[in-house]
């Protein structure tokens, strides 16, 4: 211990405490030399070292020294201030010293741990200590601001993490805003059929929670909402939410589903085609530049024989269908009065009247051939109002009757709504998602396919949503309106606009989850190019009983696959894509293997790099799946190649890989390949991070405050993380983190108020000349100008203490408490001399 009698001349009395941190610091930095160096620095009256300064004993040592030596300033040379500054500040406070008369020298993270040369590192440590001593001498007591905590919490993301946290907070009767950008909560878990390793039915464990969310009074559910702006600070955030249009009034809708069963349009995102008799009649895509729908057709035989030389809706009359008949049609499909049968209902009745069809028509219907009924043309004309299809004769049958077939009369008129396909009783006309063609199942294809739809049957809120791109009325600005007409509670709102809502909350939980890595960026696997190469979430949708195949494992052609390969680490543990392990895919792949075995007689091949079964019950599940006869091949798949023979409707997929356990190349022929795609940060992560002031790790996921000691917090006080938005996670870990975050939030709410750092800017009016340089700089508009006095003023409640104005002030009138110019310059001098 080195002490001397300085500071008697009225100068500050500084104590310097240097930490060995076990051997963490002392193995690279000569701590004793640092202690002796500090002892002879100006104003230092005591300089001590200790093994673990942050321990209780270490803190007591500091407190004792403060009392014994009447210290009025303390320097601790140890780890980063981001680590233990609060610890030591509190220790000072306990000994009666203002917590801001304290300074840390970071000789661990930014010195001992990053340097090898003991001499250089020790010299740097001394410089850092010297800087802290000079700085602390100029520090002044500051008083933290107390701020009340608004008990309301904003939870961003309504997946399992957000739901769990919301329920925990609601259990304590605290208000929650649960914001979800999709029409329903549930997130990715809602797509799953079973969960590993227990094979619980995902819906069975998730649905009750979702329903519970809708029943809790303290949870204000905001689906189809996105966070647009966040202002304020811990305890008092002001948040702007933007609501996208659902076109259905959530409060009025009873969830009866009448609208869905009557909707004639088919929901397909962006790019679709109408197929007539197996060939493309029109292809409708969205022009990315104008945002408008563009219809194209390449097949002149699809065009109406009489319309081929004409174009536009005025070409209404044709020799085949007389004007009189058309006007009769129009009358037939005139919009009914409220309460009467809708045009759609009338169509359905007509379809039911198919029993009156002739023998030949019945046969045609069975084979998918056109019966010439003309429903397609009628609905296109009468209900949709597009008049894109009309019937024309392709010749007489044996009885001398015209054989009528639908033809395209106007390319411009077709909006690809699919109403014609909906009413077609035979399947002669169908609508198809162009992107659906190869492998991909867009939108995970749960729920029904009408333009007004419920994302899946258990959706919460159980309120349908209209897909504006597919809705006839919203596309044309008129026409159809079937849903509106059948809706008893009058909940349809075609005129709905985006809306902004401002809410006030005290804390924010980010639970925005992940998105799936796009496997088409690994072209050798053929996702999006080869039929029957599908992603993990697409396969989850297929396994789901409400999914496109009703839970059956099927190839594109509807047949059951004979062999399936499951490829692990698609985009994970890959230097070209994501270096991290996505953590869930091994178990997910095993789950798929089990379910395939369970539901089909297919052979299953797992291609893995390392099998990571780390969780509770996971290794046991792995053993179980092995026993079920799944082929486990250690090796990364090199490529998937399709081979076709003759008229095979589906090619055979060859998966090529090196089996590293037997040291041989293998070529495994399968019918279907399931890719275990990496989990990656949601595309909105960067934008949201900027809004919230939360950083991201190199992998792009949100960065926690500390990987071990604070995996729930962020650097922004009052903002927390839960679930896969912080990194790939399985459901148990996600739920655990959500509960942890809820506990953190509740503890702050219970405390009622928090102390905020008084690092704020102030303007000395006696020096301010009102040049107004600072006025436009403040990102929080905390600086206002008083033209009467010709001075600017900082509103301390808005100021966040960044110091931009302090640096800019050309007259030196602005002072930044805690980071004053003279303090920083003293540190600079200490570091350099």
Between 750 and 769, whose beta carbon lies closer to another protein?
769
User: What is the closest distance, in whole angstroms, from the C-beta atom of residue 702 to another protein in the complex?
Assistant: 10
Between 33 and 802, whose beta carbon lies closer to another protein?
802
Distances (CA, A) of 183 to 151, 208, 218, 245, 454: 26, 18, 20, 10, 8
Between 126 and 405, whose beta carbon lies closer to another protein?
126
* Sign (positive or negative) of CA dihedral 75, 76, 77, 80: negative
Between 240 and 800, whose beta carbon lies closer to another protein?
800
Between 114 and 500, whose beta carbon lies closer to another protein?
114
Between 525 and 702, whose beta carbon lies closer to another protein?
702
Burial of 144 (0-12, 13-18, 19+ CB in 10 A): middle
User: What is the closest distance, in whole angstroms, from the C-beta atom of residue 698 to another protein in the complex?
Assistant: 5
User: What is the closest distance, in whole angstroms, from the C-beta atom of residue 701 to another protein in the complex?
Assistant: 9
Q: Give me 326's structure tokens.
A: 């058309």
Between 158 and 803, whose beta carbon lies closer to another protein?
803
User: What is the closest distance, in whole angstroms, from the C-beta atom of residue 76 to another protein in the complex?
Assistant: 15
* Sign (positive or negative) of CA dihedral 716, 718, 724, 727: positive
Between 723 and 830, whose beta carbon lies closer to another protein?
830
Between 129 and 431, whose beta carbon lies closer to another protein?
129
Between 524 and 811, whose beta carbon lies closer to another protein?
811
Backbone angles phi, psi at 391, to 5 degrees: -85, 145
Backbone angles phi, psi at 346, to 5 degrees: -65, -35
Number of CB atoms found within 10 A of residue 777's CB: 13
User: What is the closest distance, in whole angstroms, from the C-beta atom of residue 243 to another protein in the complex?
Assistant: 25
Between 553 and 813, whose beta carbon lies closer to another protein?
813
Question: Euclidean distance between the first and final Cα of the chain, in Å?
Answer: 25
Q: C-alpha 622: how far from its chain's center?
A: 30
The label of the residue with tokens 């002149």 reads 300
Backbone angles phi, psi at 282, to 5 degrees: -135, 155
User: What is the closest distance, in whole angstroms, from the C-beta atom of residue 129 to another protein in the complex?
Assistant: 11
- Sequence length of the chain is 833
Taking a C-beta distance cutoff of 8 angstroms, is the pair 581, 572 a contact? Answer: yes
User: What is the closest distance, in whole angstroms, from the C-beta atom of residue 278 to another protein in the complex?
Assistant: 50
User: What is the closest distance, in whole angstroms, from the C-beta atom of residue 29 to another protein in the complex?
Assistant: 10
User: What is the closest distance, in whole angstroms, from the C-beta atom of residue 241 to another protein in the complex?
Assistant: 19
User: What is the closest distance, in whole angstroms, from the C-beta atom of residue 101 to another protein in the complex?
Assistant: 17
User: What is the closest distance, in whole angstroms, from the C-beta atom of residue 130 to another protein in the complex?
Assistant: 10
User: What is the closest distance, in whole angstroms, from the C-beta atom of residue 116 to another protein in the complex?
Assistant: 6
Compute the radius of gyration of the chain from its Cα atoms.
Answer: 35
From CA 273, how far away is CA 610, in angstroms rounded? 43
Between 286 and 772, whose beta carbon lies closer to another protein?
772
Taking a C-beta distance cutoff of 8 angstroms, is the pair 160, 190 a contact? Answer: no
Distances (CA, A) of 42 to 4, 48, 131, 136, 651: 11, 16, 12, 12, 83
User: What is the closest distance, in whole angstroms, from the C-beta atom of residue 680 to another protein in the complex?
Assistant: 15
Between 25 and 586, whose beta carbon lies closer to another protein?
25
User: What is the closest distance, in whole angstroms, from the C-beta atom of residue 149 to another protein in the complex?
Assistant: 21
Between 509 and 759, whose beta carbon lies closer to another protein?
759
Burial of 287 (0-12, 13-18, 19+ CB in 10 A): exposed
From CA 291, how far away is CA 287, in angstroms rounded? 5
Burial of 327 (0-12, 13-18, 19+ CB in 10 A): exposed
Contacts of 365 (CB under 8 A, 6+ apart): 354, 357, 371, 425, 426
Number of CB atoms found within 10 A of residue 636's CB: 17
Taking a C-beta distance cutoff of 8 angstroms, is the pair 194, 591 a contact? Answer: yes
User: What is the closest distance, in whole angstroms, from the C-beta atom of residue 162 to another protein in the complex?
Assistant: 24
DSSP string of 494-562, one letter each residue: TT---EEEEEEESEEEE---EEE--GGGSGGG-TTTSTTEEEHHHHHHHHSTTSTTTT----TTSPPPS
3-state SS string over 573-638?
CCCCCCCCCCCCHHHHHHHHHHHHHHHCCCEEEEEECCCCCCCCCHHHHHHHHHHCCCEEEECCEE
Between 28 and 387, whose beta carbon lies closer to another protein?
28
Buried-state track 189-219, b at ≥16 Cβ within 10 A, e below 16: bbbbbbbbbeeeebbebbbebbebbeebebb
User: What is the closest distance, in whole angstroms, from the C-beta atom of residue 140 to another protein in the complex?
Assistant: 13
Bond before 197 cis per omega within 30 degrees = yes
**Nearest CA among 40, 62, 67 for reference residue 49:** 62
From CA 374, how far away is CA 515, in angstroms rounded? 44
User: What is the closest distance, in whole angstroms, from the C-beta atom of residue 32 to another protein in the complex?
Assistant: 19
Q: Give me 729's structure tokens.
A: 């996670």
Between 403 and 697, whose beta carbon lies closer to another protein?
697
Between 158 and 830, whose beta carbon lies closer to another protein?
830
């Amino acid at each position: 211990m080195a002490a001397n009698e300085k500071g008697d001349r009225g100068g500050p009395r500084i104590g310097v405490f240097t930490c060995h941190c076990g051997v963490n610091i002392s193995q690279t930095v000569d701590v004793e030399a640092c202690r002796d160096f500090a002892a002879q620095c100006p104003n230092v009256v005591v300089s001590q070292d200790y093994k673990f300064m942050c321990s209780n004993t270490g803190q007591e040592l500091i407190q004792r020294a403060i009392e014994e030596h009447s210290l009025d300033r303390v320097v601790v040379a140890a780890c980063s201030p981001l680590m233990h500054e609060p610890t030591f500040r509190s220790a000072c406070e306990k000994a009666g010293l203002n917590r801001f008369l304290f300074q840390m020298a970071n000789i661990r993270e930014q010195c001992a741990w990053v340097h090898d040369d003991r001499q250089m590192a020790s010299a740097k440590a001394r410089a850092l200590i010297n800087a802290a001593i000079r700085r602390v001498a100029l520090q002044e007591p500051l008083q933290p601001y107390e701020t009340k905590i608004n008990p309301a919490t904003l939870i961003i993301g309504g997946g399992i993490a957000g739901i769990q946290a919301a329920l925990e907070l609601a259990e304590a009767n605290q208000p929650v805003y649960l914001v979800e950008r999709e029409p329903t909560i549930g997130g990715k878990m809602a797509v799953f059929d079973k969960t590993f390793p227990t094979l619980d039915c995902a819906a069975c464990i998730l649905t009750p929670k979702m329903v519970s969310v809708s029943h809790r009074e303290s949870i204000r559910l905001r689906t189809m909402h996105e966070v647009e702006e966040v202002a304020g600070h811990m305890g008092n955030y002001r948040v702007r939410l933007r609501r996208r249009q659902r076109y259905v009034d959530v409060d009025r809708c009873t969830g009866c589903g009448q609208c869905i069963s009557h909707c004639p349009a088919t929901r397909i995102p962006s790019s679709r085609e109408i197929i007539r008799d197996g060939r493309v009649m029109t292809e409708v895509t969205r022009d990315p530049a104008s945002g408008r729908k563009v219809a194209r057709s390449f097949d002149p035989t699809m065009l109406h024989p009489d319309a081929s030389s004409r174009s536009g809706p005025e070409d209404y009359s044709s020799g085949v269908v007389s004007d009189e008949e058309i006007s009769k049609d129009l009358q037939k499909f005139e919009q009914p009065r409220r309460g009467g049968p809708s045009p759609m209902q009338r169509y359905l009745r007509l379809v039911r009247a198919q029993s009156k069809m002739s023998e030949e028509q019945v046969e045609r219907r069975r084979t998918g051939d056109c019966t010439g009924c003309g429903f397609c043309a009628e609905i296109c004309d009468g209900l949709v109002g597009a008049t894109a299809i009309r019937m024309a004769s392709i010749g007489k049958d044996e009885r001398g009757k015209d054989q009528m077939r639908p033809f395209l009369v106007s390319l411009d008129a077709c909006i690809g709504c699919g109403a014609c396909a909906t009413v077609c009783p035979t399947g002669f006309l169908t609508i198809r998602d162009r992107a659906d063609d190869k492998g991909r199942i867009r939108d995970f294809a749960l729920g029904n396919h009408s333009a007004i739809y419920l994302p899946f049957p258990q959706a919460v809120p159980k309120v349908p949503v209209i897909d504006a791109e597919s809705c006839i009325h919203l596309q044309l600005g008129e026409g159809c309106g079937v849903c509106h007409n059948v809706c008893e509670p009058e909940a349809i709102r075609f005129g709905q606009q985006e809306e902004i809502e401002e809410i006030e909350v005290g804390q924010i939980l980010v639970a925005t989850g992940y998105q799936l890595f796009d496997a088409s960026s690994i072209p050798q696997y053929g996702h999006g190019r080869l039929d029957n190469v599908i992603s993990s979430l697409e396969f989850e949708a297929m396994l789901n009983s409400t999914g496109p195949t009703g839970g059956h494992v099927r190839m594109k052609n509807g047949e059951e696959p004979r062999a399936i390969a499951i490829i692990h680490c698609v985009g994970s543990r890959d230097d070209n894509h994501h270096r991290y392990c996505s953590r869930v895919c091994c178990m997910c792949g095993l789950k798929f293997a089990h379910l395939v075995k369970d539901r089909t007689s297919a052979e299953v091949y797992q291609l893995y790099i390392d099998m990571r079964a780390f969780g509770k019950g996971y290794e046991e599940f792995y053993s179980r799946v092995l026993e079920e006869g799944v082929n486990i091949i250690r090796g990364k798949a090199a490529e998937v190649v399709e081979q076709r023979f003759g008229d095979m409707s589906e090619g055979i997929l060859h998966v090529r890989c090196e089996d590293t356990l037997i040291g041989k190349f293998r070529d495994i022929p399968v019918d279907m390949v399931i890719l275990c795609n990496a989990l990656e940060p949601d595309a909105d992560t960067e934008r949201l991070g900027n809004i919230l002031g939360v950083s991201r790790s190199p992998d792009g996921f949100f960065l926690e405050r500390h990987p071990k000691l604070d995996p729930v917090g962020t650097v922004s006080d009052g903002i927390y993380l839960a679930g896969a938005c912080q990194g790939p996670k399985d459901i148990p870990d996600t739920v655990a983190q959500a509960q942890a975050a809820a506990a953190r939030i509740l503890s702050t709410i219970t405390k009622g108020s928090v102390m905020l750092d008084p690092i704020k800017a102030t303007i000395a009016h006696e020096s301010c000349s009102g040049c107004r340089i600072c006025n436009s700089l403040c990102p929080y508009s905390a600086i206002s100008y008083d033209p009467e006095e010709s001075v600017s003023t900082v509103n301390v409640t808005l100021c966040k203490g960044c110091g931009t104005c302090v640096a800019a002030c050309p007259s030196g009138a602005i002072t930044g408490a805690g980071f004053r110019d003279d303090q920083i310059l003293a540190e600079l001098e200490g570091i350099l001399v």
